[in-house]
Structures are given as structure tokens and as C-alpha cells.
């Protein structure tokens, strides 16, 4: 039933956008629920989808129009969830939903129902945070350990070797050997540390695997420029850029999936990695000059 309220063209457009957003997200939640093995999680997702549909019907009662869901958005979030996991995908979508708050405030000037819908939307994220229990996120600490240690240690090692050796191939192979050895050492340490913690939710072998794989993947990315470029300083500069991109990418994922502050953590990790690299570069210069090494 259409409610008789005179709408300005601008207000009608806002309602239609809100309507489209609700029906789209309802479809996304239903699609997620189809592939959910946990029945409790599936029930909650379906109930939220039903709530989104109810909101859609409220907006429809004012516009009197049917609106189709955004198929591109549905495919986009489906791909995000398959690639980066359920927690990341859902929270990313919830962040997009938060951006509609200003629209709700504008709509509420004409339609009081908008306030109630806004309050219900804000509860969605809390429900999702409580229900989502993705196994991969339990090992985020292990991933952080491998990633951060590789970034700090390898950028430092490569920076020091860059001036010490002045040969891209020699630096690359030295960095690769150092990196693989360090990865195995870190994985072993994480295994023992996790085993001692007696955390029933984290398996020591899996924690060690996450740490080792994160470390080795970071090592490969950092030494790659030394295999590509012959100019030693171009290789180092590219490695530093890659390190910053890895830090940015990881911290963006972490900020969305776990609710961390992106800027603070990014600057902290970047400062540590670049600081160690700068000190190691100076050490390489000093060692070469002091010992008269010329390779």
C-alpha cells in the first residue's frame, strides 16, 4: 500500500536509492546463507535478509515503485567473499551501508520511519560480529607474526646487502637463503609458542604453517626486484615500495575484518620496516668502508 506523502524529486530519488540498496543487500545475505554450513549463522543471515526486505517494503510504500537489485554489486560482494573470506566481505558491505546514514538523516526530515530503519541497520554489524567465527581469522596473529617479521628483517637485510655487495643477483640469492631459513625458524618458534599456550581454538601445526607461508610469500615479493633489475638502487627502491604496498594491503584487510585502525597500524609498521632498512643500509656502508670489502 502506497503512503500518501508528497515527495520532492530529490527525496524520491533518495528513497529509490535506499530501496535499491536494501533489496540488493537482502539478495547478498541470502546468497551468503546458501553456502553457509553453520546452521546458526545461516539462520541469522536469513533473518537479516528478511529485515532488509522489510525495509525495502517500507520505502516501496512511499515510492509506489518496484526496484530491482544491483546485480553488479551482488556479484562483486560474492567475489569478495569467495576470495577474501566471509568476515571481510560482510564487514566491507556493512561499511558501505554506514555511508548511507547521511541519507537516512535527510530522509527522516520527511519520513520518521527512517530513524527506526537506521537504528536497525546499526544493529546488523553487531549481530554479524557476534555470529561470524571464521577459522582463518583465528590465525591472524600467526599471519601478522610471519608478515611483520619478514618485512622488518628482509628489508633490513636487503638494504644492508645492497650497499655491501653492489650486485643484484648476489643480494637476491643471499636474501632468499636468509629468508627461507628465517621462515622455517619463525614457523618452528610459532609452533612451540602456540603449543605452550594451550589455546584449544588454535592448532600449533596450522599456526606454524600460517606463519611460515606468510613469511615466505613476503620474502619472494621483496627479493623479486633484485632478479628483475640490474641497477642495485632501483631494485632496493622497488623493494621498499613493495614493502609499503604489502603493509597497506594487509592493514586494510585487517582494519575491515577485525575493526582495527588502518592509519595508525599502517604508519607504525611502515616506520619500523623503513627504520630498520635505513639503519641496515648505513651499517652496510660502514662495514664496507671499515673492512674494505669490494665485491
Note down pLDDT in tens along the chain; length 295 residues. 556 677 788 888 888 888 898 899 889 889 888 887 778 778 888 888 888 898 889 888 888 889 999 999 888 988 888 777 777 787 788 777 666 555 677 777 778 777 777 777 777 666 666 666 556 566 766 777 777 788 888 888 888 788 777 788 988 898 899 888 888 888 888 888 888 777 766 788 888 888 888 889 989 999 999 999 999 889 989 998 998 898 888 888 877 777 677 888 888 888 888 787 778 777 766 766 666 555 4
174 and 285 both lie in a single domain: yes
How many folded domains does the chain comprise? 2
- What integer pLDDT is reported at residue 63 of this predicted model? 86
Choose the final residue of a domain: 99, 133, 167. 133
Of 114, 133, 152, the residue that ends a domain is 133
Task: Please give the pLDDT value at position 234.
Answer: 93
141 lies in which domain range? 136-291
**121 and 173: one domain?**
no
Same domain, 50 and 157: no
Is residue 4 in some structural domain? no
Here the CATH number for the domain that contains residue 116 is 1.20.1260.10
Q: What would the 3-class secondary structure string for the chain be?
A: CCCCCCCCHHHHHHHHHHHHHHHHHHHHHHHHHHCCCCHHHHHHHHHHHHHHHHHHHHHHHHHCCCCCCCHHHHHHHHHHHHHHCHHHHHHHHHHHHHCCHHHHHHHHCCCCHHHHHHHHHHHHHHHHHHHCCCHHHHCHHHHHHHHHHHHHHHHHHHHHHHHHHCCHHHHHHHHHHHHHHHHHHHHHHHHHHHHHHCCCCCCHHHHHHHHHHHHHHHHHHHHHHHHHCCCHHHHHHHHHHHHHHHHHHHHHHHHHHHCCCHHHHHHHHHHHHHHHHHHHHHHHHHHHHHHCCCC
Q: Which of 79, 99, 133 is the last residue of a domain?
A: 133
Domain assignment present for residue 271? The answer is yes
Question: What is the pLDDT at residue 226?
Answer: 93
Both 241 and 264 in one domain: the answer is yes
Instruction: Say yes or no: 147 and 279 in one domain.
Output: yes
Amino acid at each position: 500500500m502506497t503512503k500518501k506523502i508528497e515527495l520532492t524529486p530529490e527525496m524520491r530519488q533518495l528513497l529509490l536509492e535506499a530501496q535499491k540498496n536494501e533489496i540488493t543487500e537482502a539478495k547478498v545475505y541470502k546468497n551468503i546463507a546458501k553456502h553457509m554450513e553453520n546452521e546458526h549463522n545461516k539462520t541469522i543471515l536469513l533473518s537479516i535478509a528478511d529485515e532488509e526486505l522489510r525495509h525495502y517494503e517500507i520505502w516501496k510504500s512511499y515510492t509506489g515503485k518496484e526496484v530491482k537489485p544491483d546485480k553488479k554489486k551482488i556479484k562483486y560482494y560474492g567475489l569478495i567473499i569467495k576470495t577474501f573470506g566471509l568476515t571481510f566481505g560482510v564487514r566491507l558491505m556493512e561499511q558501505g551501508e554506514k555511508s548511507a546514514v547521511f541519507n537516512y538523516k535527510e530522509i527522516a526530515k520527511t519520513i520518521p520511519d527512517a530513524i527506526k530503519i537506521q537504528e536497525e541497520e546499526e544493529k546488523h554489524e553487531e549481530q554479524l560480529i557476534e555470529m561470524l567465527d571464521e577459522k582463518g581469522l583465528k590465525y591472524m596473529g600467526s599471519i601478522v607474526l610471519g608478515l611483520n617479521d619478514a618485512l622488518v628483517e628482509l628489508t633490513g637485510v636487503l638494504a644492508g646487502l645492497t650497499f655491501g655487495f653492489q650486485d643484484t643477483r648476489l643480494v637476491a640469492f643471499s636474501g632468499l637463503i636468509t629468508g627461507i631459513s628465517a621462515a622455517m625458524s619463525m614457523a618452528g618458534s610459532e609452533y612451540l609458542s602456540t603449543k605452550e599456550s594451550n589455546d584449544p581454538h588454535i592448532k600449533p601445526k596450522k599456526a606454524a604453517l600460517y606463519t611460515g607461508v606468510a613469511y615466505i610469500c613476503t620474502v619472494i615479493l621483496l627479493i623479486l626486484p633484485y632478479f628483475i633489475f640490474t641497477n642495485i638502487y632501483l631494485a632496493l627502491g622497488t623493494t621498499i615500495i613493495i614493502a609499503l604496498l604489502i603493509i597497506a594491503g594487509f592493514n586494510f584487510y585487517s582494519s575491515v575484518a577485525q575493526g582495527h585502525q588502518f592509519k595508525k597500524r599502517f604508519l607504525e609498521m611502515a616506520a619500523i620496516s623503513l627504520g630498520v632498512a635505513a639503519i641496515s643500509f648505513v651499517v652496510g656502508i660502514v662495514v664496507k668502508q671499515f673492512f674494505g670489502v669490494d665485491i
